[in-house]
Amino acid sequence: MYNSPYLRQNTSVRRVMVTVLVAMLPAIAVQVWLFGIGLLLQIALASATALACEAAMLSMRRRPVARALGDGSALVTAWLIAVCLPPLLPWWMIVIGTSFAIIIGKHLYGGLGQNPFNPAMLAYCVLIISFPALMSQWPGLQGSDPATQLHWVLGGERALDAVTGATPLDALRTGLLGNADVSAVMQSAAFGHVAGAGWEWVALAWGAGGLLLLALRIITWHIPVAFLGAMALVSGVAWLIDPSHYASPAFHLLAGGTMLGAFFIATDPVSGATTPRGKLIFAAGIALIAWLIRAFGAYPDGIAFAVLLLNICVPLIDIKTQPPVFGHKVEPPDGGAR
């Protein structure tokens, strides 16, 4: 039995999720081109783990497995985990991270739509806290041959010097710790035009995917604009005050996970704020905390932690930013009937 409306727009959760996956493709392509096929192995592994965990959890919770698997939400989580992690991690790390995200981050809270934390970021944080060394090894830009990559993914011995391609954020942190100033660090080989060789392209590809999501009305402008705006603002102010210790806004916007975070991670509807003003506050908060962690914290990139911190605040933000309801925006005439 169902009642009006009898007309429904042709839309579904599955459609939304598949669109997100499609929008991730450009950036994935650029990363593969830069760092080799390691990322593809990682995506495949994460996807398989996510689907298996999802199916297991659903059947344990006695929910219809096929229907919920088909919604694609587990795949989005898996892909986000895969692109956040450095490529060529040993397989068991991917498995641990993904199953943590799906089992603990999602289903223990009640499954799709109920999780207060972004599951992908939860997985990232768990991994970076547990395995900080492995998590900071990004492969060199030149890449290595697929066989070696496979060898590493399967958990084989790693020739450490072959994986020394530190990310620009890492390099900046190490450089600054070594008392070099920003411009000096930027001169080094790892840096391209702005934010590290190749990294600008990755960031721009994320941005392009994000614009696609905006154009298809999967996300609204609030979160990306507030995120990037706040990031530019805080880093810009700091940079104007002391350019030798703080990197430029352009660097911050294009380095690390800024673009990915602004368009794909902070926009996760389930764990994010929902009201328009709430979204602005939520995203600006993430950007601010992420910059603070980058500038003063112990981890090179703080987006994941920032997202989780703001996830905690979401109920409060939502309650405080409820938009006025039709007819309740202004006082009624002569203070009258209310």
Partner 1 sequence: MLSKLFSFNGGVKPDPNKSLSTREPIARLALPPQLVIPLHQHIGGTPRPLVHVGDKVLRGQRIGAADGNVSSAVHAPTSGHVVAIEPRPMPHASGLSSPAVVIEPDGLDAAIEREPFDWHAAAPGEIRDFLRDAGVVGLGGAVFPSHLKLNPGKSGHTDTLVINGAECEPFITCDDMLMRAEPENILRGALIMQRMLAAKQVLVALEDNKPEAAAALKAAAQSLGHASLEVVVVPTRYPAGGAKQLIRVLTGIEVPHGSRSTDYGVQCFNVATALAVWRALEHGEPLTRRIVTVTGNVERPRNFDVAIGTPISHLFAAAGLKPDTDKLIMGGPMMGIPLPNIDAPVVKATNCLLASSPALFAPPEPELPCIRCGECARACPADLQPFELYWHSRARNFGRAQEYKLFDCIECGCCAYVCPSHIPLVDYYRYAKSEIWARERDKDAADSARERFEFRNWRADREKEEKAAKLAARNAAKPAVKPTDGSAPAADVAPSAGDDPMKALIEAAMARARAQKEAVAAKNTDALTPAQQAQIDAAEERRKRASELSGSNAPAE
Partner 2 sequence: MITALIVMAGLALVLGATLGAASVLFRTQGDPLVDKIDAILPQTQCGQCGYPGCKPYATAIAGGEADINQCPPGGDEGVRKLADLLGREYKPLNAEHGIEKPKSVAVIDEATCIGCTLCIQACPVDAIVGAAKQMHTIVADLCTGCELCVPPCPADCIDMVPVAETVENWKWRYPVFELKVQPATLPAKEAA
User: Of 119, 51, 133, which Cα lies nearest the Cα of 89?
Assistant: 133
We find the least distance from the C-beta atom of residue 163 to partner 1, in angstroms, to be 38
Out of 14, 63, 245, 320, name the contact with partner 2 by CB under 8 A.
Answer: 63
Residues 65-104 interacting with partner 1 (rule: CB under 8 A)? 67-68, 71, 73
CA gap 222, 226 in Å, rounded: 6
We find the least distance from the C-beta atom of residue 2 to partner 2, in angstroms, to be 8
Token pair belonging to 24: 């991730």
331 touches, from partner 1, partner 2, none (C-beta below 5 to 8 Å by class): none
Out of 25, 108, 114, 320, name the contact with partner 1 by CB under 8 A.
Answer: 114
User: Of 81, 70, 83, which Cα lies nearest the Cα of 18?
Assistant: 70
CA gap 179, 197 in Å, rounded: 22
Out of 1, 133, 215, 298, name the contact with partner 2 by CB under 8 A.
Answer: 1
We find the least distance from the C-beta atom of residue 78 to partner 2, in angstroms, to be 23
CA angle 224/251/258 to nearest 5° reads 30
Closer of 113 and 146 to partner 2 (Cβ): 113
Helices within 104-221 (DSSP H only): 119-130, 132-135, 146-153, 168-177, 182-187, 199-215
Closer of 147 and 329 to partner 1 (Cβ): 329
Stretch that binds partner 1, among 135-143, 169-177, 238-246, 264-272 (CB under 8 A): 264-272
* 332 lies in the site for partner 1, by CB under 8 A: yes
CA angle 192/287/20 to nearest 5° reads 80
Q: Which residues contact 249 (CB under 8 A, 6 or more apart)?
A: 231, 232, 233, 235, 236, 239
Query: How many residues lie near partner 1 (CB under 8 A)?
Result: 42
* 3 lies in the site for partner 1, by CB under 8 A: yes
We find the least distance from the C-beta atom of residue 119 to partner 1, in angstroms, to be 13
189 touches, from partner 2, partner 1, none (C-beta below 5 to 8 Å by class): none
